[in-house]
């Protein structure tokens, strides 16, 4: 269980790093997008 959680966290960290490098997306902007996505999903249900 812990092994899969660690690998998932590493994968997410790599994706965020790539987004920052290639698109200039900061962690704050990324967090805002994630929050707005959750809001949109929750409003549909």
Q: How does residue 1 score in pLDDT terms, banded at 50, 70 and 90? A: low
Mean pLDDT score across all residues of the chain: 84
**Prediction pTM value:** 0.51
Mind listing the pLDDT tens digit for each residue in 14-39? 888 888 888 887 778 878 888 898 89
Rg (CA), the chain: 13
Which residues, at least 6 apart from 26, have a Cβ–Cβ distance to it below 8 Å? 20
CA distances from 34 to 8, 10, 41 (A): 17, 18, 11
């Amino acid at each position: 269980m812990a092994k899969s959680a660690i690998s998932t966290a590493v994968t997410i960290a790599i994706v965020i790093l790539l987004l920052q490098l290639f698109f200039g997306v900061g962690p704050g902007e990324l967090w805002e997008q994630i929050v707005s996505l959750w809001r949109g999903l929750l409003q549909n249900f």
